[in-house]
Amino acid sequence: MSEFTILGQGWREYLGAMLSGAQAEVLISSPYITSDGVQFIVEHISDRVRAQGQISVLTDLSPASVAQGSTDPHALRSLHQVAPRVDIYHLPRLHAKVYVADSARAVITSGNLTLGGLALNYEYGVAVEDAHLVETVRRDIEEYAQLGAKMGSEQLAVYCQAANRVREALLQQRKAIAQTARLLFDEAFQNAADELIRIRVAGGPIHTVFAKTIVYLLNREGPLTTPELHRLIERIHPDLCDNAVDRVINGVRFGKKWKHAVRTAQQALKRRGVVQLDGTHWRLIESSS
């Protein structure tokens, strides 16, 4: 591997390997950390760090983050059981997503330690294996963490109780909102979502968006089966892939409507000589890539 590697959707695989290979110390800066993120750490952290290493975490435990479910102090507290030394720091307005192992490898990315960051969102970043630069990154994050509040296990336990009250109060507030206000919000929300979709398809059929996406995916990933295309297209365009809407002809259901639009896009690209179906895999025709 070169000293720098671009990381896209596969950044979680690199992070997992980095955690598994850590010898002594892992440093994490992630504004949002949920139970999914903590579970990822638990599943991948090396035995050496578990036995005699250190995990340092810088995050944002502000009430707004906790109330929204963006950060889970209960999950963070469980990290104290993972390694002999665990330091957790809170610093509001944190936005840096940085992951470092042993001053040997680092990931600088857009991804938080959440389900969205690890599996759902389109994230982008770079892996660094230049020892001097990794050490500089590690030192910068450690120095910044020292500006925050160190949250020991007991302090986190107390804060978890406060966080529970915040979440309960938020739920009560939401329940107290008048039904009319909720209906107005739902209508406005749906109108805004519909307008975005109209802009996205630019007045044309939805399969034109899917056609561009198919070419993009085949160019980046290589040959893909239709189910693989479905999975990747749904990840990129969740707003256009409504699994609640079936295609119905004469009262007979023919599967998800958006998947039929993907098929239309595939056939249109095939007719234009852009792609071909080779057995079970779609591939770009070389002159089109």
Q: How many CB atoms lie within 10 A of CB 84?
A: 12
The C-alpha R_g of the chain, in whole angstroms, comes to: 23
98 touches 104 (CB < 8 A): no
Complete domains list, the chain, with CATH: 4-167 (3.30.870.10), 206-288 (1.10.10.10)
pLDDT for 177 equals 67
Place of tokens 């960051």: 117
pLDDT digits (tens, 9 = 90+) for 10-36: 899 999 999 999 999 999 999 999 999
Identity of the residue numbered 235:
R
The chain-wide mean pLDDT, for the chain, equals 86
What is the rounded average pLDDT of the residues 246-260? 64
What is the pTM (predicted TM-score) of this model? 0.75
Residues across the chain: 289
For 130-174, the DSSP string reads -HHHHHHHHHHHHHHHTTSEE--HHHHHHHHHHHHHHHHHHHHHH
Q: What was the pLDDT predicted at 243? A: 83
Which of 123, 103, 104 lies closest to 13, judged by CA? 123
pLDDT tens, residue by residue, 136-179: 999 999 999 888 888 888 888 887 787 777 777 766 776 766 66
Rounded Cα distance, 289 and 275, in Å: 9
